[in-house]
Structure 1
């Protein structure tokens, strides 16, 4: 039987002097402003009149979100020192698993739940529904280590990129690469494709792109676990970066915020080659429809990977924040709603977009409105 709930906190995005202020009016778990502090008449109030949040809030999941999560946690706890927030970048698969078994209150995932996981999520959420909120949007950079190549970017067609990771292109001066780079003297050294060794949403997004644009070359389909044995690999995003950085000729894929000093490829889109940028990533997200099974709480997106539209970067990662619409107690419900609201706020999105944080693409106002409506459903079982 479905447990009765306390009334959820209500959210609204309000325009004020050209800026959007985030508010949650008081009901149930408690209201929060854009810093995450609660409002109302609770006797435990701050000098500004808002009740102070307290407790612990543990999350885990996508390592792609690590830099953004560090920024979000810092911003949120500046306003809410009574809440201890943690995020363990274990990888998307582990994060979803830990959320489903109740080890953490929220998760980050570069891939949406599958049908089996959705059934488990309902049980974990006390017969409620899981929220899947696309709050981290970032290009996946194709990174490489070629110290002797001074070009800002190496151009790679979809077919060439798929051929590299399928093991069909084995040297950097292969004609499939050289023809797209007539002004670059490419070395005759071995191409060393590097993949993630763990279950990775970044891998799934990357192979989804390869499958969509070069399915005749990349025949393994979209997959979270690398399907080719005997490859060079690294665990999580940090392992990928370290492996590519340590081996000349290596090429890999990682959240663009972690590319550092490595070379990055410009990807063939239509008649042009497009390097990654937050703007080019946002352009493809805005042009993509919702998935067929999306709901008002599960705001999952079907990326148009094979677009030829000018100025779009198609290897994009949409990483979801996953939470429950029903928690066992009001403290957990309030803290989760407050933290997610901060992440969705203009302040939270702008913080993650800073180049020295994550360089991600802020969500649109339309998406923010729908995200806040979903967060508004979070409540506590009575």
Structure 2
């Protein structure tokens, strides 16, 4: 599915308040907003193509509709094939930018990028923060509580029935069926899987014995492609459970997560708080803003099962016009208005003012 010129409710109003940097130049505008109610000038034209994160899918609909409403001669295509496909496509030159729920690996950065000017690299710019839900479909169970060790046991195949004592102990007073647990996981290389397995590797090392990664490591349950795929598979199968970006969990129950000594309900604010407490990845270039998520954060109401999703772009493109369009698009995406629009549509956490400023400054450096 390609996302193009889709206008969710409210996005047109957001777009009317935004001014984008001119695309014919490599210089970014210093101020990309206009007074509320004023007309947004048409300044951008051309086409850029992105491939990547399905978790970003709903947010991308909002962002694309907003920027294209303000710039009718601009055409942005985004194909939510998954984070792994997005990075591979960007590296090979099949996409002008990638959406990815995991930053580029050191091994990927050590290689070359077909779209980038010789001798230059790509940069990771965080634009989307969202909690990952443990979503389930179990008749009569509406307030499930789980900890990291139990989640690891379920998704590694060590816990196989819903009334297993490890689950029952966490859910005193809840009647759990004796039915077999149907695990639903991603079939494609996925940044959501990367973040999910990082969380389990950090918090349940004795149970989750596989390394974290973008490919689900256990031969268990049912596999489905993309956020929408695992959502539909879980809705279709009784007694099933999955991990999914919260934007795709509508129609499913979402478990509470034990954080420290308390059970916490999923929230974008809790996810954002964890990101705010997390350092940058060490050793990256100045404009690469990859975040080393603190998976063991236990502050009150924190949700450490969080993904930070990036737009990946060249620091310098071989084609300057493409670089100018990508720069303007990312500046728009990181703006407060665009972040608030995505929060309304996707339930994501808007970037903090400080992080937004860093992303915009880094995007302005793209040539």
TM over 0.5: yes
* 1:64 alignment partner, SS class: coil
Flag structure 2 segments of 5+ consecutive residues without an equivalent.
1-16
Cα distance in structure 1, aligned partners of 2:190 and 2:354: 29
Cα distance in structure 1, aligned partners of 2:311 and 2:362: 12
**RMSD between superposed Cα atoms in Å:** 2.2
Query: Structure 1 pair 173/80, CA: closer, same or farther in 2 (3 Å)?
Result: same
Query: Structure 1 pair 275/282, CA: closer, same or farther in 2 (3 Å)?
Result: same
Structure 1 residue 320: deviation in Å? 0.6
Q: What is the aligned residue count?
A: 346
> Which position in structure 1 is the counterpart of 2:133?
141
Cα distance in structure 1, aligned partners of 2:223 and 2:165: 26
Equivalent position to 1:118, from 109, 114, 129:
109
Q: Residue 347 in 1 paired to residue 337 in 2?
A: yes
Cα distance in structure 1, aligned partners of 2:112 and 2:100: 14
Structure 1 residue 34: deviation in Å? 3.5
Cα distance in structure 1, aligned partners of 2:229 and 2:217: 18
> Which position in structure 2 is the counterpart of 1:78?
69
Structure 1 residue 215: deviation in Å? 0.8
Q: Residue 96 in 1 paired to residue 87 in 2?
A: yes
* 2:56 alignment partner, SS class: helix
Q: Residue 183 in 1 paired to residue 180 in 2?
A: no
Structure 1 residue 24: deviation in Å? 5.1
Q: Does the 8 Å contact 1:157/1:267 carry over to 2?
A: yes
Q: How does 1:257-296 map to 2 (within 5 A)?
A: 257-296=247-286
Equivalent position to 2:197, from 192, 204, 207:
207
Cα distance in structure 1, aligned partners of 2:202 and 2:240: 24
> Which position in structure 2 is the counterpart of 1:256?
246
* 2:346 alignment partner, SS class: coil
> Which position in structure 1 is the counterpart of 2:356?
368
> Which position in structure 2 is the counterpart of 1:15?
none
Query: Structure 1 pair 65/72, CA: closer, same or farther in 2 (3 Å)?
Result: same
Q: Does the 8 Å contact 2:52/2:86 carry over to 1?
A: yes
> Which position in structure 2 is the counterpart of 1:61?
52
Q: Residue 233 in 1 paired to residue 233 in 2?
A: no
Structure 1 residue 187: deviation in Å? 1.3
* 1:327 alignment partner, SS class: coil
Q: Does the 8 Å contact 1:215/1:221 carry over to 2?
A: no
> Which position in structure 2 is the counterpart of 1:333?
323
> Which position in structure 2 is the counterpart of 1:28?
25
> Which position in structure 2 is the counterpart of 1:8?
none
Equivalent position to 2:164, from 174, 191, 196:
174
Runs of 4+ in 1 over 6 A off after TM superposition: 20-23
Q: Does the 8 Å contact 2:295/2:304 carry over to 1?
A: yes
Flag structure 1 segments of 5+ consecutive residues without an equivalent.
1-19, 37-46
Cα distance in structure 1, aligned partners of 2:80 and 2:114: 24
* 1:177 alignment partner, SS class: helix
TM-score scaled by structure 2?
A: 0.89
Cα deviations by residue, 1:243-285 (Å, 9 ceiling, x for unpaired): 1111111100110011011010111101111121111101111
Equivalent position to 1:310, from 294, 300, 304:
300
Cα distance in structure 2, aligned partners of 1:246 and 1:345: 38
Cα distance in structure 2, aligned partners of 1:178 and 1:368: 43
Q: Does the 8 Å contact 1:60/1:95 carry over to 2?
A: yes
> Which position in structure 1 is the counterpart of 2:14?
none
Structure 1 residue 103: deviation in Å? 1.0
